Amino acid sequence: AALVLLFGMLAFFWLPKRGSDDTLAIYKNQMVGIALRGYGMDLTTNDPAQIRSHLAQNQAPADYALPAALQKVAVAGCAVESWQNAKVSMLCFRTGKPLPPGEQSDLWLFVVDRTALADPSIGEVPQFSKVNRLATATWAKGDKIYLLGTEGDEQTIRKYL
């Protein structure tokens, strides 16, 4: 019994620790995965007020602030996703590019409460990265974290900020 206890203590201190599941990198990978693998919108509409109302009724972030350039992009609908027991608002937009058959949008904005992520380094200045085949921008404003993604590169995503 003492040997089992000793090995258990050694394993605890020497085996690699599993990282936190609520990091920005994992969040981005999961949200981009949702956008790319084909999702169903909970509400299909081009009315931003209906989208905010639907999100609020489903306890998802509805008090988000869209960048000026994104306000000019046609909205297609929304969905409520989840992340670490927090609700995530997924807003779907159409950039005007031809869409593949069966697709309803090609630009996605995910909004989650800041408390859902353990990464305090997220600031108001957008951070750009490539996740799978999407160019992404991530930033925080107030108590929300924003993740914007579309196919392309950093220049492509900057047009919507």
Distance between CA 72 and CA 95 in Å, rounded?
A: 10
pTM above 0.75, yes or no: yes
Torsion angle (degrees, nearest 10) of CA 5, 9, 10, 11: 100
Judge contact between 78 and 90, C-beta under 8 A. Answer: yes
What is the chain's percent helix, strand, coil content, to nearest 5? 30, 30, 40
Distance between CA 120 and CA 113 in Å, rounded?
A: 13
**pLDDT mean across residues, the chain:** 88
Distance between CA 35 and CA 21 in Å, rounded?
A: 20
Tens of pLDDT along 55-64?
999 999 999 9
Distance between CA 23 and CA 68 in Å, rounded?
A: 28
Distance between CA 155 and CA 135 in Å, rounded?
A: 9
Tens of pLDDT along 96-119?
999 888 888 999 999 999 999 877
Instruction: Report residue 1's pLDDT band, with 50, 70 and 90 as the boundaries.
Output: low
